[in-house]
Amino acid sequence: MFIFGERVDGVNKIRKELYEGKRGYVGSRLGRVFQTIKSGFFGDVKVMHGIIDSLCDGGDHYITCFDFYSYLDAQTKADDTYRDYKKWTSMAILGIAKSGKFSSDRTIAEYCAKIWDIEPVPVAHPSTDQNTRTRSFANLGNAQ
């Protein structure tokens, strides 16, 4: 497993600094990524401009800009490890063997409560009535 990003205490410290006006935390590599996106290199970016501007101006509640460099370091470690077949295979087997019970629902609920400080939104259960049930658009090409 390759872990990256801040721990809860670090997240709280960074959020406090952002609230107090800390800016200039994007860094050159992420800054180049943002400039490339804003330049239109990947297509129409009208929506993205506001998001990027907000992230750069203290609106990075989930501290994605801060975690970017830690992510790059973790990705480099993963890439290096992947090149070592025996080490990668050993880590994969041990990771599976030691993982125990995993629930994405539990994990997401913990992130919501402990890291993101957000509440779940109730979603109504889909009805079994054909006229009111939620519809999948995955097979629209086959619809009649």
Q: What is the pLDDT of residues 119-144, one digit of tens each?
A: 888 887 766 555 555 555 554 555 44
Residue 68 sits in the same domain as residue 106: no
CA 56 – CA 31 distance, rounded (Å):
9
Residue 2 sits in the same domain as residue 71: yes
Burial of residue 6 (number of CB atoms within 10 Å: 0-12, 13-18, 19+):
middle
Could you list the residue range(s) of the whole structural domain that residue 72 is in? 1-80
pTM of the prediction?
Answer: 0.61
Q: What is the mean pLDDT of residues 22-33?
A: 91
CA 28 – CA 104 distance, rounded (Å):
34
Taking 90 as the threshold, does the pLDDT of residue 79 lie above it? yes
Residue 104 sits in the same domain as residue 56: no
Residues in the chain: 144
Residue 65 sits in the same domain as residue 1: yes
What's the angle, vertex CA 71, arms to CA 11 and CA 15, rounded to 5? 15
